């Protein structure tokens, strides 16, 4: 693998307006990026988020550290016209970063837009699109592929008018993307029991494009049975409790928690699964991998299982509710077993 990478979220807004990074402290970000490069042994980082100034700041420092950077702006559940305007504005910011740096900067026009953008699949929200009865038929027939590819062609053309570096897209395995407008092929590919026997086979259409294939997202969670739930990129956290906790005043009365169930923490399972996936993808010949994700500030660890939101997180480090860690006393998190496993694999 050329790109031994990790995703780094500078603050994404999914449902309910909750930011995945409410506080963005420059010194903490720089310390985390140094850890990614020095101790996790990464050669690349995918910087993702909504605020393009935040992405630019993190990307600039990561480039100084010698990392290849994928500049990945993320706008969710907006119509195509608004999404296209956002992508174009973000590409202008990325070009200014590229011109100031001697490192390699890749611009990613979007991620899983068939699901995350409003307007291609039926349904006004992500959950409505996921649970739409016609989704299986759409996946099987590829009937919405032309609409997605028309948008991606327009987004790529708009990007290239203002950005002079390589351009990529992070696809779902079943989106049926036409890779002609892109320099690199990107696919989010999570291991799950349901695809055990065809995990690598599912990548063959991407290799057929004749361009470098990068797994733009893969990951695992630290609880028993996480790989057999059928939820892939989704966790076990209770989103309603997160929402109420994010509100001023009333949020002090609500502590975020997991959904009901006997969830058992298992950091070893996360570490073993990530190592196994990296070995599979390496042997398959992918150009690189970005593991989701380095840190998840709104999913802190707790010794009480019901409140241990870190079990629902894909992160390689566990956020601490209070104080700093012992391994890195200047940051509010502690490496998990998965951190050490990935670092060992990347260092080989």
pLDDT digits (tens, 9 = 90+) for 141-178: 999 999 999 999 999 999 999 999 999 999 999 999 99
For residues 213 and 323, give the distance between their C-alpha atoms in angstroms, rounded to a whole number. 40
**Token digits of residue 18:** 């909750």
* Sheet (strand 300-301) strand order: 300-301, 317-320, 333-335
Residues 6+ apart with CB under 8 A from 195: 202
**Token digits of residue 204:** 């063959």
> By three-state DSSP, how is residue 288 classified?
strand
Question: Quick one: 3-218+265-295+314-347 is in which CATH superfamily?
Answer: Glycosidases (3.20.20.80)
Mean pLDDT across the stretch 316-345?
Answer: 96
For residues 5 and 90, give the distance between their C-alpha atoms in angstroms, rounded to a whole number. 22
Measure CA 126 to chain center.
16
- Whether residue 233 is predicted with pLDDT greater than 80 in this model: the reply is no
CB atoms near residue 311 (< 10 Å): 26
Residues 6+ apart with CB under 8 A from 300: 309, 310, 318, 319, 320, 321
pTM assigned to the model: 0.95
154 versus 130: the higher-pLDDT residue is: 154
Task: Identify whether the C-beta of residue 7 lies closer than 8 Å to the C-beta of residue 217.
Answer: yes
Provide the mean pLDDT of the chain: 93
Distances (CA, A) of 306 to 143, 232, 247, 298: 42, 21, 21, 15
Element (H, E) at 272: helix 267-284
Give the domain ranges of the chain: 3-218+265-295+314-347
108: left (phi over 0), alpha (psi -120 to 50) or beta: beta
pLDDT in tens, 56-96: 999 999 999 999 999 999 999 999 999 999 999 999 999 99
> By three-state DSSP, how is residue 242 classified?
helix
**Confidence band, pLDDT 50/70/90 cuts, at residue 253:** confident
pLDDT in tens, 273-316: 999 999 999 999 999 999 999 999 999 999 999 999 999 999 99
Long-range CB contacts (within 8 A, 24+) of 83-90:
83/110, 83/113, 83/117, 83/151, 83/155, 84/151, 84/154, 84/155, 84/158, 87/155, 87/158, 87/159, 88/155, 88/158, 88/159, 88/162, 89/52, 90/52, 90/55
Distances (CA, A) of 115 to 121, 129, 133: 7, 7, 14
160 versus 252: the higher-pLDDT residue is: 160
Residues 6+ apart with CB under 8 A from 131: 123
């Amino acid at each position: 693998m050329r790109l031994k990478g990790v995703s780094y979220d500078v603050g994404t807004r999914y449902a309910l307006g909750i930011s995945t990074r409410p506080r963005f402290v420059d010194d903490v970000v720089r310390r985390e990026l140094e850890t990614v490069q020095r101790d996790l042994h990464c050669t690349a980082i995918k910087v993702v988020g909504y605020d393009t100034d935040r992405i630019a700041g993190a990307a600039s420092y990561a480039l100084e550290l010698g990392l290849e950077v994928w500049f990945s702006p993320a706008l969710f559940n907006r119509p195509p016209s608004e999404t296209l305007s956002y992508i174009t504005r973000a590409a202008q910011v990325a070009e200014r970063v590229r011109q100031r740096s001697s490192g390699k900067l890749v611009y990613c026009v979007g991620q899983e837009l068939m699901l995350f953008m409003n307007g291609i699949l039926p349904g006004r929200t992500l959950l409505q699109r996921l649970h739409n009865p016609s989704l299986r038929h759409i996946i099987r027939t590829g009937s919405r592929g032309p609409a997605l590819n028309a948008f991606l062609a327009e987004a790529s053309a708009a990007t290239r008018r203002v950005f002079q570096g390589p351009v990529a897209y992070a696809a779902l395995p079943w989106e049926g993307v036409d890779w002609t407008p892109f320099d690199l092929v990107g696919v989010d590919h999570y291991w799950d029991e349901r695809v055990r026997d065809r995990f690598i086979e599912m990548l063959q259409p991407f290799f057929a494009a004749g361009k470098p294939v990068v797994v733009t997202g893969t990951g695992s969670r630290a609880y028993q049975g996480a790989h057999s739930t059928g939820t892939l990129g989704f966790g076990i956290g209770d989103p309603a409790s997160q929402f109420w906790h994010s509100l001023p005043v009333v949020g002090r009365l609500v502590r975020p928690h997991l959904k009901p169930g006997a969830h058992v923490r298992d950091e070893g399972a996360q570490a073993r699964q990530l190592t196994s996936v990296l070995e599979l993808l390496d042997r398959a010949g992918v150009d690189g991998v970005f593991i989701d994700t380095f840190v998840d500030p709104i999913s802190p660890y707790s010794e009480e299982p019901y409140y241990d939101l870190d079990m629902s997180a894909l992160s390689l480090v566990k956020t601490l509710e209070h104080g700093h860690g012992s391994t890195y006393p200047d940051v509010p998190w502690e490496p998990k077993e998965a951190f050490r496993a990935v670092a060992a694999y990347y260092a080989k």
